[in-house]
Structure 1
């Protein structure tokens, strides 16, 4: 078992935080770390467990407000969100009105185009 004052690498931190190693590899730069050796990569990064946990608590629970008391993170907040599928279904009313007027105008305009076959016949006097 890893104690809070232990120094761990990426794999050890993933075990402490109960998440995948890939997740830690994506976000390791956010956490307080030190480097062992000359490299400046995740391979040479080491983390003090107590510092990382303190950082996460400070970042996620500002001023000691728990998730259940925070209005933005509570259950009520979900009701204000709209899924992407529903968002696509919502129509912009103003744009819809403009499009309707444009299509009405196109229908009322007189047809000014000539038939290409008639043009061809007239050019060569084919009857």
Structure 2
């Protein structure tokens, strides 16, 4: 998860050869009115993707739900990514707080860390690592 120069949110997808990204959703936890969510689906149900700017569906994707519109309001947020490598499921999930997101300095990203999130250098996260690509 990256904070853009304009303060927006961008999900970065670590390099993984032949990873098909199928679905993505972002939701706010602990809301009194259910779980506001922004969700998209890959119309072709296959193909690579390197990043997702939240609240703007990539070309070839459709928005399936859009009750969540921001990740800067106080609270906890979870992003889920569903995909596959050679037809075998490979999913990702990260949960973070708005304060973790807002405090991200340039060049750092939030990564999943045992059910929570920690910051690391973007360059480290974007290095190829075949171990992440195993379903």
Task: Give the TM-score taking structure 2 as reference length.
Answer: 0.21
Greater fraction strand? 2
Greater fraction helix? 1
Larger radius of gyration: 1
Greater RCO, CA 8 A, separation 6+: 2
Task: Give the TM-score taking structure 1 as reference length.
Answer: 0.22
